[in-house]
Structure 1
Amino acid sequence: IVSLISLAILSYERYSTLTLCNRRGPDFRKALLAVGGSWLYSLIWTVPPLLGWSSYGVEGAGTSCSVRWTSETPDSVSYIICLFIFCLVIPVMVMIYCYGRLMYAVKQ
């Protein structure tokens, strides 16, 4: 989750750097906020199974664990749907929008 959110933030950062006018110099607080924010967002979406909304289970050869994708309880289904929307669809849509606008601006 962290990597996909980081890619979405990076795409927005590239878009805003090249298309929006920013008169200030380099600001490392913005970068630290982006990194910290992506980790916090990921933590928010990985803790709920530990608190009872869905659950984690052993995967594959028994060397790692992940969300129980095959569970059909209402809690698991709702968590998987939310995870899909907020941790895949929205970040991918942000990337598509930012890189699309960036390509449009470069072609102008």
Structure 2
Amino acid sequence: MEQLTLIETAVLDLIPNGSDRKISIREIGKLLDLDERSIYEIINSLRRKGVPVCAKRNGQPLDRGYYIATNEAERADGIHSYKSQVNDMSNLIATIEHADLLNWHKNLKRAK
């Protein structure tokens, strides 16, 4: 059995079960007087302890936020945005790896 810290418990108590309702990191920060970086770390700690915290990261602002997945469809939806981010980062890495280190500036026309 994993032991939660007081702050992990406080954050966990704010995250709704199910994707029908979500809470933004900003809302958690306001309610607990915490900065976003700390909340990210706490949420990741909860995940490492087995809590299926998912996030919807796109769409309308009021439909974004964190939730605890309660079924496979919610888990899949939550994982989808992270897989998209991994894809984007992989493409970015490939772009940088293939950039011409010596002549990149010759291929640009600067705005005046």
TM interval, short-chain normalised:
0.3 to 0.5
Structure ranking higher on relative contact order (CA contacts 8 Å, 6+ apart): 1
- The two structures have a TM-score, normalised by structure 2, of 0.36
TM-score (normalised: structure 1)? 0.37
